Structure formats: structure tokens, C-alpha cells
Amino acid sequence: MLRTGGTMGRLLNVIDVEATCWDGVPPPGQVSEIIEIGVCVVDLDAGERTGRDRILVRPERSAVSAFCTELTGITPAEAAGGVTFAEACRLLIERHRSDSRPWASWGDYDRKQFSRQCEGSRRYPFGSVHHNAKIVFAEALGRRRQGMAGALESAGLPLEGRHHNGADDAWNIGALVLYLAERGRWPG
């Protein structure tokens, strides 16, 4: 759903992932895996969110628990219909030029989760420029680091959509990036 026509300015991919999770310790043999990649494309020059994407990812070494469904809204059947992790990484590069465009996430979890899942033969889908928006926000406002929902409240911005939905969270983080950019506090 990218804007067509006109010129695009400096673009930033805001990424938020949801992963398999459990209420407590994972069952034997299961590990946390990305099951949803939310993307919000931010045009920093135009000061607007210009694209939104949701990529569902089929887990290979875990199952979507009832706890995970309650938290994210993603059912086991929905996740089973997703693409492979390798295909999701390819889609990020193809659709969003993730290998060359700077990107941001709220905290460092998303970056680390991608690094873990790309160990071995899988290609890491991102370029070298990553911004931890949680740290940028805290430093810009002189506040302690907080969750995305708390940051939205601090900034006087609404929480749009469902919290712990990757696409909605990426969209909301995009709003926080623009909040910082409008105040000259976003890096680059």
C-alpha cells in the first residue's frame, strides 16, 4: 500500500515483530520464532507514514500457544498459512528495500530476533543502519525508557489498532518516529 506518484524523500522502515510465546517456559524442543512482521514506511522528509505491510510467517520449530493467540490475535491456523521465514526476508528486501534502507524498531528485541533466526545460511534482510527508537525517544525527552504504549501516551498520541499486532505496532512506532522528527530529534 505504498503511495504512487510524486517523489519520495528519505525513507525509513519501521519494523515490529511478533513471535511465538508462552505463559512461562517454552515447551521442550520449542523456541521463540517470528510469526508476524509489521512494516511501516516513514517518509522523513514529507513527515508522513506512506506504507504499511503485514507479513505472516509460518513457524518451523514451535507452535502458536493459546497464550500467544490471546496476546497477538494470531491463531495457529493463521500462522500455518504464512510464508517461510526465508520467504519473509526475501519479501522485506523486495517490497521495502530493507537491505539498503535504514530501519528502526522499538527496543532491540526485533533486531536480535532477526539475528538469531538468520544465523547459519539465512540472509539477514537488513542493512547496517538500525535505530533503537525506544532509546532515541527516552533521550530526546529526558525520560526513562518505556514501552511503546506508554511512549504514545507521553507524546499525546493515540494507540491505533491492536497492541501486540505487528502491523499496528509498527504503524504506532512510525507515529513516534514522526513525533521525534518534527522536533528535530530523529537521527539522520
**Above 90 in pLDDT, residue 52?**
yes
Q: Where are the domains of the chain?
A: 11-182
pLDDT at 6: 47
In a 3-state reduction of DSSP, which class is residue 86?
Answer: helix
How sure is the predictor about 93, in pLDDT bands with cuts at 50, 70 and 90?
very high
pLDDT greater than 50 at residue 53: yes
Beta strands (DSSP E) in the chain are 11-19, 34-43, 48-56, 103-105, 130-132
3-class DSSP assignment, residue 67: helix
Q: What's the whole-model pTM score?
A: 0.94
Given a cut of 50, whether residue 58 has pLDDT beyond it is yes
In whole angstroms, how far apart are CA 46 and each of 9, 13, 103, 124, 126?
Answer: 7, 14, 17, 29, 23
Q: What is the pLDDT of residue 3?
A: 41
CATH topology of domain 11-182: Nucleotidyltransferase; domain 5 (3.30.420)
pLDDT digits (tens, 9 = 90+) for 133-162: 999 999 999 999 999 999 999 999 999 999
Confirm if 18 and 74 have CB atoms less than 8 A apart.
yes
Q: What is the mean pLDDT of the chain?
A: 95
